[in-house]
Amino acid sequence: MRHHAEGIRNVALVGHRGSGKTSLNEALLFEAGVLARLGSVGDGSTASDIDPDEQARQMSISASLASFEWAGRKVNVIDAPGEPSFVADALGALRVCESAVFVVNAVMGVEITTSRLWKVAAQHDIARLLYVNMLDRERADFFRTLDSLKAAFGQHVVATEIPIGSEHEISGLIDLVDMRAYAYPQATRGNATEVPIPDEARPRAEEYREKLMDEVAEVSDELMERYLEGSEISHEEIVDALRRGTNHGSIFPVVCGVAIRNLGTNRLLDAIVEDLPSPVEHGAFETDEVTLEPDESKELFAYVFKTRADPYAGRINMFRVYQGVMRHDTQLLNTRTHQKERIGQLAVSNGKGTTAVEELGAGDIGAVAKLKETRAGDWLAARDEPIRMPADALPAPVMAFAIEPKNKGDEDKVFTALRRLQEEDPTIDLHRDPQTGEQIVAGLSQIHVEVIVDRLRSRFGAEVTLKPPRVPYMETIRRSAKAHGRHKKQSGGRGQFGDCHLEIEPLEPGAGFEFVDVIKGGAIPRSFIPAVEKGAREALDHGVLAGYPVKDVRVRLFDGSFHTVDSSELAFKLAGSLAVKQALEQANPVLLEPVMLVTLSIPEESVGDVIGDLNSRRGRPQGMEPAGTMTEVKAEVPMAELLGYAPELRSLTGGQGDYTMEFLRYEEVPSHLVSKVLEAAAQEAAVPAG
């Protein structure tokens, strides 16, 4: 049976790694009756972490979709990874859901990934609800966490329930909407028992109930007037005000529980269907080209937000229907390729399994396999409409390895598998190094690349080896220099002649390459000048210090000569290349290294050790601030000093430290290290590729 948009809730489960999203997803499925028992992340038995690499690492790597019914509504939950290396799936989940449940560890409070994804959710105008998890842990504190949420996300963060007890003594919850208390003695479905609000908890419950009503009353002038007059406001009115306020980002409700004990899960499900908007309530989706309404009577538009590479089923595409109805055994147009795709069996996920469906209506989410050319980021539509989803800013890959097959003759197999994985994860960068001919795979971290290698083996049977990561050094110049390049060859018959005078000049960092033609009087015919520029560009691809690309240089072509018969584009390209190489030698060339902005989340007691280690790596701390029970440290560090940093940070912080890094700028390599880099580059160049 097709669900109409009014009765659908699309929810992304997002948050920092280790906050318990997968355990919460498991509890939601269990409470909704989809699962017969609660699985555990520790033994790999959860419904969403189905890949062997997820089970081995005890962490989500890919987003998973699960659908179920609660209180007469269909709920689509996308459990998104919290590890920053796999942020693309989290961004994809936020892109296609009206709502997000931000899962927060009650010990750690607001962490790096939570803050970053919150900003993305705000940009997309997504309704946000916060779930404070792990309240049974030592040092867990709901009220301290609530204060940190308010500090991070504003004063409109408001609790709609509070816990009874703390740490291992937590026993239930108090619903602040209706001022009722519930006890949870066991982890079974329907185990919540209404009990009197404990006397010791009542003063705090009344305090936070008043804070909730202050927020609810601000949703409308009528409610505010009645609230100030002391009139009774009904349950339905409070719920309606919460939903309207949450939908428009003026209220951010906070609920709580213990996912692994199924404590509070039923209350969260109620909050999802009562406080979060349906596709209809959230409103039309607008792009620069079209406005799409969750209306089943209109033409179909569906967006593919995730592609999974399967060696047997081919591409499995997860999609969101924005308008119209998608039906089994029909044909649609891919608006990127302008080709028709036959829609085969549609499916919805219900834990580890899937259920075939005949159709999915506006606002719904599902999956389809075996589409020929469709991949994540594509639109499927009833007509060939030029439509584009606004792109999310994906972090740039920073950890690069040279990759080669273990077995001779497997090059095509490995390359094809890598391309399939890149369709699944757009943050993977694949390219061939023009200097060495090596195939380079780059990811957001060392663990990211390790997962790529694991999936090549487990999914595609492709065994590969990795060489140590390469630092993408570059070169530039510090002063201007002029040079004369001449290519002249005569060997009988028509010869070759190209002659040019040019000057190279340093540009501001980040300016790139600039070519300036100031030839006068026809010294070089206009038809040959592009060839000079091409030769100059090719010469700058390989600097004179160690063969690294040269950046931030202006080439000014100011004179030359030609032969009416022997001059050619090739001759002038070679002349331009010769002149640039000569000029580089005289222009005080220097070596540049990439510098990264590193953001670390570490325990307070480890700050001294971590800062000392960063200093030893030529790092420059930029500041620190508390982030819940952790400390956030920002530092600028050369990439060369961060290779293999993850295990060192884990050692320094007892396994609790985490970091992300992003490219900042290039800086000159210190003089005492230049010879070491040049020697390593020479040794690498001496080894034949492959």
Q: Which two tokens stand for residue 448?
A: 């990211």
* pLDDT confidence of residue 219: 81
Go through 358-377 and write b for each residue having 16 or more CB atoms within 10 A of its CB, e for each that does not.
ebbbbbbbbbbbbbeebbbb
| Backbone dihedral region for residue 324 (phi beyond 0: left; psi -120 to 50: alpha; all else: beta) | left
- Outline which parts of the chain fall under CATH 3.40.50.300: 7-283
Confidence of residue 652 (pLDDT cuts 50, 70, 90): very high
Q: Classify domain 299-381 at the CATH superfamily level.
A: Translation factors (2.40.30.10)
The residue-averaged pLDDT of 627-652 equals: 86
For residue 388, pLDDT over 90 is answered with no
Which tens digits make up the pLDDT trace of 318-372?
A: 999 999 999 999 999 999 999 999 999 999 987 667 889 999 999 999 999 989 8
The CATH-assigned architecture of domain 7-283 is 3-Layer(aba) Sandwich (3.40)
Instruction: Give the orientation angle of helix 202-217 with respect to helix 221-229, to 10 degrees.
Output: 140
Confidence of residue 689 (pLDDT cuts 50, 70, 90): very low
* pLDDT confidence of residue 312: 67
Within 10 angstroms of residue 52's Cβ, the number of other Cβ atoms is 14
- For residues 620 and 636, the answer to whether their CB atoms sit within 8 Å is yes
Q: Which CATH number describes the domain made up of 399-470?
A: 3.30.70.870
- Outline which parts of the chain fall under CATH 3.30.230.10: 479-587
* pLDDT confidence of residue 392: 81
End-to-end CA separation in angstroms for the chain: 56
CA dist 504 and 514 (Å) reads 10
CA dist 586 and 321 (Å) reads 61
Q: What is the dihedral of CA 429, 430, 436, 438, to 10 degrees?
A: 130
Confidence of residue 690 (pLDDT cuts 50, 70, 90): very low
CATH fold for the domain made of 591-675: Alpha-Beta Plaits (3.30.70)
The residue-averaged pLDDT of 651-678 equals: 87
CA dist 254 and 144 (Å) reads 13
- The pLDDT mean for the chain works out to 89
Residue written as tokens 């750690």? 108
- Outline which parts of the chain fall under CATH 3.30.70.240: 591-675
Instruction: Tell me which amino acid residue 136 is.
Output: D
For residue 160, pLDDT over 90 is answered with yes
- The better pLDDT of the pair 509, 228 is held by 509
Which tens digits make up the pLDDT trace of 426-441?
A: 889 888 876 567 788 9
Which tens digits make up the pLDDT trace of 83-105?
A: 888 889 999 999 999 999 999 99
Which tens digits make up the pLDDT trace of 247-289?
A: 988 899 999 999 999 999 999 999 999 999 999 999 999 888 8
Partners of 630 in the β-ladder: 603, 627
The residue-averaged pLDDT of 577-604 equals: 94
The residue-averaged pLDDT of 613-634 equals: 89
For residue 399, pLDDT over 90 is answered with no
Which tens digits make up the pLDDT trace of 510-542?
A: 899 999 999 998 999 999 999 999 999 999 999
Which tens digits make up the pLDDT trace of 15-40?
A: 988 899 999 999 999 999 888 788 88
The residue-averaged pLDDT of 566-594 equals: 96
The CATH-assigned architecture of domain 479-587 is 2-Layer Sandwich (3.30)
Which tens digits make up the pLDDT trace of 471-510?
A: 889 999 999 999 999 999 876 667 899 999 999 999 999 8
CA dist 75 and 87 (Å) reads 23
Residues with Cβ < 8 Å from 488, sequence gap 6 or more? Answer: 495, 496, 497, 498, 499
Sign of the dihedral defined by the CA atoms of residues 45, 50, 53, 58, in that order: negative
For residue 374, pLDDT over 50 is answered with yes
For residue 588, pLDDT over 70 is answered with yes
Rg (CA), the chain: 30
Compute CA 133 distance to the chain's CA centroid, rounded to the nearest angstrom: 23
Q: What is the DSSP code (8-state) at residue 260?
A: G
Extended strands (E) in 311-353: 314-323, 325-327, 330-334, 339-343, 346-349
* pLDDT confidence of residue 203: 95
CA dist 50 and 214 (Å) reads 44
For residue 46, pLDDT over 90 is answered with no
